[in-house]
Chain A
């Protein structure tokens, strides 16, 4: 099955700096890559996703890049704010809508004011 690895497990940045979280996957058939944000005491929430026919996608301060050849994808958060502090999970699936969504182990991001 798919194996998703995520790094780093913890990340601390100063407010205003950028944060980058990286994930690799093993199954070349995967072509849907969502990112979820989990705030303290809450369930994960989708923040952005990308499909394999796209190399990069942006939504305000958040961007995701995908390199299918190298089987890795990354989340970039620019101009970080304290409210960005949370645990971020990457995931991979053979397609959007598949029930076999494989999650990474999460990155705890702390934005220091």
Chain B
């Protein structure tokens, strides 16, 4: 158990809809990262937050947004969903301001868009 909690584990929705994925980082970790894992694809970095503020952006679509709350949990919002958004979305956390080398991943939220 990495200590990172993601909900929901599975989500099925229709095209055009909006969903929110939630992540609780390890106790004390200030940084939260979101990754997307599509079929046969590696892990694509989406966005990072540190202590409530956006720190870095990767390949995140404009239809997606995220935030980190004062209690350090984070949410990833996906809107106007398309079939291609079906993927496994991982949250990871790391201690201090930036990763000391290791990212601790949650078990992921599997999104299926029909």
Task: Report A's interface with B, CB cutoff 8 A.
Answer: 4, 6, 9, 32, 34, 36, 41-46, 49, 89, 96-106
Contact A44 B101 (CB under 8 A): no
A46-B103 contact, Cβ under 8 Å, with A89-B42, A103-B42: yes
Chain A residue nearest in CB terms to B110:
A41
CA distance A32 to B90 in the complex (A): 21
Determine the chain B residues whose CB is within 8 A of the CB of A103 once the complex forms.
42-44
Contact A43 B90 (CB under 8 A): yes
Contact of A43 among B42, B58, B100, B105 (CB under 8 A): B105
Contact A98 B99 (CB under 8 A): yes
CA distance A102 to B52 in the complex (A): 23
User: Would you call B45 an interface residue if the criterion is a C-beta within 8 Å of the partner chain's C-beta atoms?
Assistant: yes
User: Would you call B107 an interface residue if the criterion is a C-beta within 8 Å of the partner chain's C-beta atoms?
Assistant: yes
The 3 closest A-B pairs by CB, nearest first: A43-B105, A96-B101, A103-B42
User: Would you call B2 an interface residue if the criterion is a C-beta within 8 Å of the partner chain's C-beta atoms?
Assistant: yes
Contact A101 B42 (CB under 8 A): no
Cβ-Cβ contact count across A and B, 8 Å cutoff:
63
User: Would you call B56 an interface residue if the criterion is a C-beta within 8 Å of the partner chain's C-beta atoms?
Assistant: yes
Determine the chain B residues whose CB is within 8 A of the CB of A46 once the complex forms.
101-103
Contact A89 B43 (CB under 8 A): yes
Given A98-B98, A99-B45, 9 more pairs with CB closer than 8 A: A6-B42, A9-B40, A34-B101, A36-B105, A44-B103, A44-B105, A96-B99, A100-B58, A106-B42
Q: Nearest-CB distance from B89 to chain A (Å)?
A: 11
Most chain A C-beta atoms within 10 Å of own C-beta, residue among B44, B103, B107: B103
Most chain A C-beta atoms within 10 Å of own C-beta, residue among B43, B55, B92, B107: B43
Chain A residue nearest in CB terms to B35:
A103
Determine the chain A residues whose CB is within 8 A of the CB of B102 once the complex forms.
34, 46, 49
